Amino acid sequence: MLLSGIVFFQISEAYTKTLEKEQELEALNNELVSELERKVELEEMQYYIQSDEFIIKKARNEFNLIQEGEILFITEE
């Protein structure tokens, strides 16, 4: 009787640990998916930042630069 109680306790403890590990694994998988999505977003941002479109927009908006043949008009706000 005592032996069966000990075996039951050990099985119960092992089952609990297994459930905890499965939950931990699921949480880590969810975190991995989130990080992979973030990686894609960062790669897209990097691609955009290296594009001519971004560079031209930044030059116009922050430094008031213009392209050849354009005229710059500055208005007071």
Q: For the chain, which residues make up each domain, given as ranges?
A: 13-63
The residue that leads in pLDDT, 39 or 76, is 39
Report yes or no: 72 and 64 within 8 Å, Cβ to Cβ.
yes
**Given 3-state DSSP classes, what are the helix, strand and coil percentages for the chain, each rounded to the nearest 5?**
80, 0, 20
9 versus 33: the higher-pLDDT residue is: 33
CB–CB of 66/72 below 8 Å?
Answer: yes
pTM: 0.60
Each residue's pLDDT tens digit, 11-57: 888 989 999 999 999 999 999 999 999 999 999 999 999 999 999 99
